[in-house]
A and B are shown apart, each in its own frame.
Chain A
Amino acid sequence: MHPACERIVPLILRAADGTLPAAQQAELDAHVNVCSECRVALGEQAAMSRLLAEIQMAPAPRGFAARVRQRVAPDTGVIDLFNWRAWTLRLTPVAALLALLAWYPPANGATASSGSQTLPAAVDEWAGGRAQVAGGVLITASPDRDALLAAALGETSR
């Protein structure tokens, strides 16, 4: 392709797959009327685009989504409530947090304001500014995964 035709490539691509805005169609038409190489390229690009668009994707295997779900959020049975190892692991961050609170009392001066009471700066940073103390209990707000998922589901898929 002639170097001067390089700027036409984006137009040829989009015309070939039917996404070229009408405003640019005239520019492309004017060029391909005088450039046989680009005229041929346009035809080839369109033929390939049509051929590949015919490819149909294979359907997902049955039960795929359920298997993914099982991996990310396995169901916990009643028996899990009596699994002291699981409880110990889950409570580790809580224990670490309590230890932090005990070791960095607000009176030390290294504090950050969050909510109605002050929090140690380290705790506030850890919680990404979403923590506050209410009634002597530390409350942290997790990122709103439900909102993220709802927004993703709201997108059109194509």
Chain B
Amino acid sequence: MPAAAGGNADAFEALVRRYQTRIINLSRAYSGNAADAEDLAQGVFVRVYRSLDRFRGESLFRTWLYKIALNVARSHHARRARQQPVWGDSGADDTRPFDPPADGSDVEAALVRRDAIDRALAELPDDLREAVILRDVHGLDYRDIAEAIGAPMGTVESRIFRARQRLRRALAPLLQELG
């Protein structure tokens, strides 16, 4: 392998390490299971590598990466929806990521809370879920979200606002428990 290409591969691997957690978790939100999420995320990075020459630097690399990841995930989601049987296994697994409480408090309560949040997110329409996850879980700013999902800023704001309202209603019992 030529030295230059080797150098590229090293730099690219460093880039993958930096963003792998974000892209795998985003893919997971669409695929519903860990195995598909890794395949999807690999596909995202392969596409990024092959398209690097088309990245013009007009946006942040991170925004461009998310844009590609969303396109790949949406295509997968649409394909799977077409193949989905009317009844039967959704393909989702029960090994959702779980973050045990760092303060040593009740693990079971934390598990219940995380499960409730995941279910509430899953009940949202795709466009609302996508926007609120990018903002509140991935921490993208509003302008970057608008660019990544290809929608005007006002639309993004409206989606995030409505997503949080719906989540608030769905999670009302949980929030009451938390006080």
Q: Which residue of B lies closest to A10 (CB)?
A: B157
Q: Is B1 an interface residue (CB 8 A)?
A: yes
Contacts of A49 in B (CB 8 A): 136, 164
Q: Is B117 an interface residue (CB 8 A)?
A: yes
Q: Is B146 an interface residue (CB 8 A)?
A: no
Q: A49-B164, A56-B97 are in contact. Are A76 and B21 (CB under 8 A)?
A: no
Contacts of B8 in A (CB 8 A): 73, 145-146, 149
Q: How many A residues, CB 8 Å from partner? A: 48
Q: A47-B175, A57-B25, A57-B97 are in contact. Are A52 and B13 (CB under 8 A)?
A: no
CB pair A149 B11 closer than 8 Å: yes
CB pair A52 B132 closer than 8 Å: yes
CB pair B99 A55 closer than 8 Å: yes
CB pair A73 B136 closer than 8 Å: no
Contacts of A75 in B (CB 8 A): 1
Q: Is B30 an interface residue (CB 8 A)?
A: no
Q: Is A99 an interface residue (CB 8 A)?
A: no
Q: Which residue of B lies closest to A40 (CB)?
A: B168
How long is the Cα–Cα vector from A59 to B34 in the complex, in angstroms?
A: 11
Q: How many B residues, CB 8 Å from partner? A: 60
CB pair B45 A68 closer than 8 Å: yes
Chain B nearest CB, measured from A74 CB (Å): 9
How long is the Cα–Cα vector from A51 to B136 in the complex, in angstroms?
A: 9
Q: Which residue of B lies closest to A43 (CB)?
A: B168
Contacts of A58 in B (CB 8 A): 21, 24-25, 28, 97
Contacts of B57 in A (CB 8 A): 148, 151
CB pair B53 A53 closer than 8 Å: no
Q: Is B123 an interface residue (CB 8 A)?
A: no
Contacts of A158 in B (CB 8 A): 139
CB pair B167 A48 closer than 8 Å: yes
Q: Which residue of A lies closest to B49 (CB)?
A: A72
How long is the Cα–Cα vector from A60 to B34 in the complex, in angstroms?
A: 10
CB pair A47 B62 closer than 8 Å: no
Q: Is B165 an interface residue (CB 8 A)?
A: yes
How long is the Cα–Cα vector from A65 to B171 in the complex, in angstroms?
A: 36
Contacts of A145 in B (CB 8 A): 8, 52-53
List 28 contacting pairs A-B, 8 Å CB cutoff, sorted by A. Answer: A10-B154, A41-B165, A44-B165, A45-B165, A53-B136, A53-B137, A54-B99, A55-B136, A56-B99, A59-B21, A60-B24, A61-B24, A64-B41, A64-B42, A67-B42, A72-B50, A73-B1, A73-B6, A145-B8, A145-B52, A146-B7, A148-B52, A148-B53, A148-B57, A149-B8, A152-B15, A153-B14, A155-B62
